[in-house]
Amino acid sequence: MKILKIQGGNKLNGKVRIGGAKNSAVALIPAAILCDEVVKFSNVPDISDMDALSDIIKYLNGSYKRKEDDMVYIASSQMQNKEIPEKLTSRLRASYYFMGALLGKFKKAEVCMPGGCTIGSRPIDLHLKGFEKLGAKISYRGDTLVIQADELIGTNIYLDFASVGATINIMLAAVKAKGMTIIENAAKEPEIVNVANFLNLMGAKVYGAGTNIIRINGVDELKSCYCEVIPDRIEAATYIMIGAVLSDDLTVENVIPEHIHALVQKLIEMGVDIQVDEDKVHVTNKNKLKPINVRTLVYPGFPTDMQQIIATLMTQAEGQSTIEETIFENRFLNLYELIKMGAKIKIDGRKAYIDGKTKLYANNITASDLRAAAGLLFAALIAEGETVINNTDYILRGYEKVVEKLEKLGAKLQLIEI
C-alpha cells in the first residue's frame, strides 16, 4: 500500500500537460480485441488501470505493448476465450468491458463480476439487459457471468438510465451483430464518442455517438487502425481547480474546452480568474471565491467525477455552497475527511452544505476512492503543515505522473510504499 505525504501551503505555478482520458482508455483497450489485427493507440495514460487491463489482455493470450511514452499496441489474433477470474476483474470496474468485447468477438464471454465500490453498488443490469436484447443468454457460475449467443441480432435497446458503461458495452457487443442496433437514451459523454470513433476507424458503422440515440449497423470484420485517446477532462478539471486556489499563474495544456464546459461555467460563477483558449486553460487565484450550487448530472451536465474535487474548492469560497449528487448513492465519503481537516460541512442524504471560507489543517486522512483521493490531495496542498493520505493507490489509478506533475509546479510531496 502507498501513502502520500504532502507539505501544504505552497504556491503552484507554471504549466501542466493533461494525459489521455482514463475513462476512454479503459474502454478502448478491451474494444481493441474485436479486431484480429494489430491496433495502435496514442496518448494512452500511464496509470495503474492500464496495467490491470494489460494483465487481462495477456491472460487471454493477446499482446499489449507500450512503446515510447504513450503508444500502446494491441494484438488479438491468438486470443483464447477463457474465463476471466476475480483476481483480474476486481482490480478495476471497467473490466466489465471485456463482457461486450468477448461477446462481440466470440459470441461468448465468461467474466467474473467486477463488484461494487465505495461510491455505490454500481449494478450492471442495464449492460446485461442490452446483451439479452441482442440475443445472448446469461447464466451464473458462482460470481462468474456466462454470456453467450448463437447469433447476435441487431435490435432496439432502451436504457432506463443513460449509463456510460452500458452504452459502451452494448456498442462493443453490437458492432458485429447482424443488422441494425439502436440504443435509445444513450449516454453522451466524450469518452463514448472516442470509443465510437475508434470502432469506426476499424470499419464499424456506428452513428450518433454523443447524442442520445446511437445506431450501429453490424459489419462482418474489423481492420487494423490507429486511434488517439482524448485528453482526460477530469484530470484537467482537477488541476484547474487547484490553480484557482494555489496559483498566481497556471496553464493547463492539452484540454478540449467543450469537455469541461459545465465546470468552467461554475468556476466563472464562483468568480475564478480563468481564461479558456483553443486547447489550454489559464487560471489564477487572484479573485475571492463566491459560493455556488452544484447538481451532478449526465453529460453535458456537471460531471459527478468532478464533484468530489469541487467540494474542496467550495471550502475556500466565502459563504455556503451546496452539492446535490444525483448519479451515485454514496459519493460523499471524502467530505468526512475534509471535516477532519477543518472544513465546515453538513451532509443530508444526497445533499451537502459546505461553508467557507475555512482554514484547512494538515491531518492523517484516508481516501475511499479515486476522485475522493484527488479532492483530498487538493485539500492537503492547501492545508498548512504535513498531511498524510492513506490508500493513495487510488489516485495512481487515474492521475498519471501526479507526483512529478505537482512537484514541477512547486508542490512538496512524497509517495511512500508502506
Please give the positions annotated as active site.
Answer: 117
52 vs 289, which CB is nearer to ligand EPZ? 52
Quote the cell numbers at residue 354.
459546505
259 touches ligand EPZ by CB under 6 A: no
Among 19, 62, 100, 165, binds ligand EPZ (CB under 6 A): 165
Among 239, 328, 332, 394, binds ligand EPZ (CB under 6 A): 328
Residue where the block lists cell 484537467: 236
400 touches ligand EPZ by CB under 6 A: no
Per-residue binding letters, 79-118, with ligand EPZ (x by CB under 6 A): ---------------x------------------------
Among 11, 58, 87, 123, binds ligand EPZ (CB under 6 A): 123
Q: Say if residue 40 is preceded by a cis peptide, omega within 30 of 0.
A: no
Name the residue number minimizing CB distance to ligand EPZ.
165
75 vs 187, which CB is nearer to ligand EPZ? 187
The one-letter amino acid code at 233 reads R
174 touches ligand EPZ by CB under 6 A: no
Ramachandran bin of 141, using left for φ above 0, alpha for ψ from -120 to 50, beta for the remaining angles: beta
94 vs 149, which CB is nearer to ligand EPZ? 94
Nearest distance from C-beta of residue 233 to ligand EPZ, angstroms: 10
Nearest distance from C-beta of residue 187 to ligand EPZ, angstroms: 6
Quote the cell numbers at residue 296.
451532478
Among 87, 161, 184, 416, binds ligand EPZ (CB under 6 A): 161
Is the CB of residue 180 less than 8 Å from the CB of residue 216?
Answer: yes
Among 163, 316, 366, 368, binds ligand EPZ (CB under 6 A): 163
Site for ligand EPZ in 348-387 (CB under 6 A): 370-371
194 vs 363, which CB is nearer to ligand EPZ? 194
Q: Which residues of 337-362 are buried (b: 16+ CB within 10 A; e: fewer)?
A: bbbebebebeeeebebbbbbebebbb
22 vs 105, which CB is nearer to ligand EPZ? 22
334 vs 358, which CB is nearer to ligand EPZ? 334
125 touches ligand EPZ by CB under 6 A: yes
Q: Which residues bind ligand EPZ (CB under 6 A)?
A: 22-23, 26, 94, 120, 122-127, 161, 163-166, 187, 304-305, 327-328, 370-371, 398
